[in-house]
Amino acid sequence: LLRRKDRERSRRFLAEGPQAVREAIGAAAVEVLLVDEATRERHVDLIEAALARGIEVGAARSGELADLTETVTPQGVLAVCRFPEVSESAVWAQRPRLVVACADVRDPGNAGTVLRCADAFGADAVLLSRASVDPYNPKAVRASVGSVFHLPVITGLDLGALTSAARGAGLQVLAADGAGEAELPELERSGSLSRPALWLFGNEAWGLSPDVAALADVRVRVPLYGAAESLNLAAAAAVCLYATATAQQEAAPRTAKPVAPGDGRYLD
Amino acid sequence: LLRRKDRERSRRFLAEGPQAVREAIGAAAVEVLLVDEATRERHVDLIEAALARGIEVGAARSGELADLTETVTPQGVLAVCRFPEVSESAVWAQRPRLVVACADVRDPGNAGTVLRCADAFGADAVLLSRASVDPYNPKAVRASVGSVFHLPVITGLDLGALTSAARGAGLQVLAADGAGEAELPELERSGSLSRPALWLFGNEAWGLSPDVAALADVRVRVPLYGAAESLNLAAAAAVCLYATATAQQEAAPRTAKPVAPGDGRYLD
């Protein structure tokens, strides 16, 4: 499961360490829990939570977990998790108000961090284009700090089709673009940021390609007041999603998201 | 210069790759420029810019640059740079309106990214506590993407003394704290975010310690609308600095920062 091909064929991925494993169990995503014999006593709560849900628990000899992962210190617990079984059409059917689409994110750490930001600001789903990195890559799962289990994550999508579907579901399509024609604070002041939105984010090095930027209703730049030429991807995503989620929340507070973790997205 | 001790003793650090080297030359920070013989032709513009400023240019044999750096691919150019000679008191004397202080940042990549965000949102200086990582670490310099040359960066500071000095210079002291008593959008709406501010950011794993949080006038939380328990350091910094810089800019636009690059901070 260290290779994308193997993850996609088996529709399984790995979660490492107590925090990610706890989130995975909570999301009913775990198939098998492996615990290092030497650190078993530290993870009694996780073992009990897994057994209570009928999850198979296996003991691994010291060093075996490290062989199964890419991590030097796998923290004693490892879960084999199922891919969430959620479709893009199910996302649009729920009338989401904040959806994130990654056009070309290539670094797994960045993908995980964008996922974490999307989750933090209450996004209803994260969609990834075909050219993007695998969000179930172990580095991406680690960088997401559990968020990969909190909201629907769908991969391998066509950006043209998904922007059309977003419009059909009543969302405006915004693209984060350093050369965009609109400035984020302007949209905030005009009130348009409180409308349901799909945000498009581009590649960490070269941003959005012109054809992807053209799919958006508005290309939006984060104002830069200093000498830096750009923000890194995760920082730009954090700022755009914070501004949008806050504007939406002020216009119409909501407490529960339409698609919540553990509501059947994971088919047991 | 790969070790902090050696950088601090010699007050020199390394900038790698054409972009960082160009910024370093622009900031009059370069003492010696080293160019890989094999890629010399690609860097003629940098060599000319360096020679025009009286900077010593040396040729390195293929592979020599890689030995001098930690990078696998050092991109053919390397500059030995001087530490900026700027004092904390000079920063306060300029009546800054946005200053960033890192209380305990430990990862060089995070330090560089915070520096880049601070620069992007027009911060007047970045101050680091004694317990923080060295911002002149090669990984931090790379992650800052040139920003280390754009604004004063001062290390080894005492947080108690610097918060007092900030108040003396008319700045409010805000601390980013997931358990803070004020919410960022509230401060925006109340108008208080447009006042001059020093922002305190804590450690990437455990945030601000209670004694550092107590140094602030207000502890501010970024609202989280989803299931993620926290944001990563750079995302939190990006959001806080965006909100503050935008509020300040709307209240009183400014075009030039009081301490600009190349204005004598680097003593030739």
Question: Using one digit for the tens of pLDDT, what is the confidence trace for A243-252?
Answer: 999 999 999 9
- With CA atoms as reference, the chain B residue closest to A239 would be B239
Whether residue A29 lies within 8 A of chain B, CB to CB, comes out as: no
Whether residue A239 lies within 8 A of chain B, CB to CB, comes out as: yes
Query: Contact A235/B231, CB-based, under 8 Å?
Result: no
For the stretch A5-49, pLDDT in tens is 889 899 999 999 888 899 999 999 999 999 998 888 999 999 999
Taking the CA of residue A232 and the nearest CA in chain B, the distance in Å comes to 8
pTM across the whole model: 0.91
For the stretch A103-145, pLDDT in tens is 999 999 999 999 999 999 999 999 999 999 999 999 999 999 9
Interface probe with B: pick from A149, A220, A225, A239, most Cβ of B within 10 Å:
A225
Question: Residue B89's closest CA among B171, B181, B154?
Answer: B154
Which are the contacts of A106, defined by CB distance < 8 A and separation ≥ 6?
Answer: A132, A133, A203, A204, A205
Interface probe with B: pick from A186, A194, A232, most Cβ of B within 10 Å:
A232
This complex has an ipTM of 0.90
Count CB atoms within 10 A of the CB of residue A87: 10
Query: Contact A122/B225, CB-based, under 8 Å?
Result: yes
Query: Contact B123/A224, CB-based, under 8 Å?
Result: no
pLDDT mean across residues, chain B: 90
The CA distance from B167 to B180, in Å, is: 20
Instruction: Please determine, for residue A96, whether its predicted confidence score (pLDDT) is greater than 50.
Output: yes
Residue B63 confidence (pLDDT): 75
Q: What percent of chain A has pLDDT over 90?
A: 76
Whether residue B257 lies within 8 A of chain A, CB to CB, comes out as: yes
Write the CA distances from B177 to A153, A185, B166, integer angstroms: 29, 24, 19
CB B67 within 8 A of CB B95: no
- Which range (A60-64, A156-160, B31-35, B130-134) has the least confidence? A60-64
Instruction: Please determine, for residue A217, whether its predicted confidence score (pLDDT) is greater than 80.
Output: yes
Of the pLDDT bands very low, low, confident and very high (cuts 50, 70, 90), residue A266 is very low
Residue A70 confidence (pLDDT): 67
For the stretch B62-121, pLDDT in tens is 777 777 776 656 688 999 999 888 899 999 999 999 999 999 999 999 999 999 999 999
Residue B62 confidence (pLDDT): 75
Mean pLDDT of B188-204: 96
Query: Contact A230/B150, CB-based, under 8 Å?
Result: no
The shortest CB-CB distance from B228 to any of A119, A223, A239 is to A119
Residue A227 with chain B: CB contacts under 8 Å: 119, 147, 150-151, 261
Residue B117 with chain A: CB contacts under 8 Å: 228, 231, 235
Write the CA distances from A180 to A205, A219, B188, B232, integer angstroms: 17, 4, 24, 26
Which are the contacts of A189, defined by CB distance < 8 A and separation ≥ 6?
Answer: none
Query: Contact B119/A228, CB-based, under 8 Å?
Result: yes
CB A155 within 8 A of CB A134: yes
Taking the CA of residue A193 and the nearest CA in chain B, the distance in Å comes to 14
Residue A261 with chain B: CB contacts under 8 Å: 227
Match 């972009």 to its residue by tokens.
Answer: B19
Whether residue A224 lies within 8 A of chain B, CB to CB, comes out as: yes
Instruction: Please determine, for residue A261, whether its predicted confidence score (pLDDT) is greater than 50.
Output: no
- Which range (A87-101, B61-75, B243-257) has the least confidence? B61-75
Whether residue B117 lies within 8 A of chain A, CB to CB, comes out as: yes
Angle B188-A118-B216 from CA coordinates, rounded to 5°: 40
Residue A42 confidence (pLDDT): 92
Mean pLDDT of B222-247: 95
Instruction: Please determine, for residue B257, whether its predicted confidence score (pLDDT) is greater than 70.
Output: no
- List, in sequence order, the alpha helices (H) in A69-222: 88-93, 108-120, 138-144, 159-168, 184-190, 210-213
Match 């179930």 to its residue by tokens.
Answer: A136
Query: Contact A119/B239, CB-based, under 8 Å?
Result: no
Residue A207: DSSP 8-state: B
Instruction: Please determine, for residue B225, whether its predicted confidence score (pLDDT) is greater than 70.
Output: yes
- Tokens representing residue A16 in the block: 């490492």
Question: Residue B121's closest CA among A179, A236, A203?
Answer: A236
Mean pLDDT of B164-168: 98
Mean pLDDT of B191-218: 95
Residue B267's identity, in one-letter code, is L
